[in-house]
Amino acid sequence: MDFKLTEEHLMIQKAARDFAQTELLPGVIERDEKQIFPTEHIKKMGELGFLGMMVDPKYGGSGLDTISYVLAMEEISKIDASASVVMSVNNSLVCWGLQTFGTEEQKQKYLTRLATGEIIGAFCLSEPEAGSDATSQKTTAIDKGDHYLLNGTKNWITNGGTADVYLVIAQTDIDKKHRGINALIVEKGMPGFEIGAKEQKLGIRGSDTHSLMFTDVKVPKENRIGEDGFGFKFAMKTLSGGRIGIASQALGIASGAYELAKKYSKERKAFGTEICNHQAIAFKLADMAVQIEAARHLCLKAAWDKDNGHNYDLSGAMAKLHASQTAMDVTVEAVQVHGGNGYVKEYHVERLMRDAKITQIYEGTSEIQKIVISRSILAE
């Protein structure tokens, strides 16, 4: 077993770290406060190859492995989790889904532009009444011969307003339950497709979350991904990889908060010495370091499983469950280490604490990860 990262991995990690420090850090507080989408930063991330990291270079991607993706996600998320969720959805849910299950025409038409960041994508599964219970899709895609007629509403869609391409999951044949669901590629501007108001959120406020409304939208048959009825499996398989991305985001939020807390504890004095010299603080840092290291190992193990052709449903769910809990625990403690300053925006940790919470909710709540994990271990 070799825990050493390759030269290439270290280069990618450094490139992501440098980008986050020099480009994302300035302005991150204002973007959070005013809910400003990081348009220019996302464009630059595309130019640097961070938006199609695992896509084959023949479709405009970087052709890298999932380990590289985890490393880059951690570094970007340390500084700006709003930028990293855009990156995560575009890489894991949209590009990976199209590359793995799309037709050659779909790849030429959409993937080539998504992988370079020329356009970005959104993944549309959640509905007002179908969040965790994803098989209960109410959005319908009725087969009309050469096209599907799409009707319904999707909720909490990341990149909802800024995307150009939307992968929409919808029910075609209710009698077939989850085997009657399809995944369709919907383009912004298709008649009958409306974007709802932007959500006002607790965290990841720079990202763009909307509900979407579809009224008699005609989606050509060639925009279906996979065979008729493959949509639910498409969503589940794609989300399994997505969970590695969100686990890495949670890891980055935790390690970002930990690094700030450690630095602060070496500068701030109380009772005649730097606060890191008090065990009350030093032990908090020790607990954070252990939790983060465990989360990092779980993320890299899930990525390694994916890169080596092993099943990663279980390892991805474990990584997400643990890393998101770590993000919550560590950010709360990081605020505590900072004392009163932790409650103030300029110290960054209050934002990281707010950002952490969503990692326990999207791409499957912690309870959903426990369903996936328990079913898997009990089937052994």
Instruction: Enumerate binding residues for ligand CAA (CB under 6 A).
Output: 89, 123, 125-126, 132, 134-135, 158, 178-179, 232-233, 236-237, 239-240, 313, 362-364, 368, 371-372
The SS3 call for residue 240 is helix
Phi-psi region of 107 (alpha: psi -120 to 50; beta: other; left: phi over 0): alpha
Please say which residue, 31 or 320, places its beta carbon nearer to ligand CAA.
Answer: 320
In angstroms, give the least distance from the CB of 153 to ligand CAA: 14
H helix runs in the chain, sequence order = 7-19, 28-34, 39-47, 66-79, 81-88, 96-101, 104-106, 112-115, 231-267, 279-307, 313-338, 349-358, 366-378
In angstroms, give the least distance from the CB of 310 to ligand CAA: 13
In angstroms, the CA 168 to CA 284 distance is 44
Please say which residue, 203 or 364, places its beta carbon nearer to ligand CAA.
Answer: 364
In angstroms, the CA 353 to CA 45 distance is 24
Please say which residue, 32 or 363, places its beta carbon nearer to ligand CAA.
Answer: 363
CA 321 centroid distance within chain:
14
The yes-or-no answer on residue 363 being catalytic is: yes
Q: Quick one: tokens of 327?
A: 């993000």
CB 205 within 8 A of CB 82: yes
In angstroms, give the least distance from the CB of 105 to ligand CAA: 24
Which H or E element spans position 7? helix 7-19
In angstroms, give the least distance from the CB of 17 to ligand CAA: 23
Please say which residue, 132 or 215, places its beta carbon nearer to ligand CAA.
Answer: 132
Select which of 75, 267, 363, 367 is catalytic: 363
Active site residues per annotation: 363
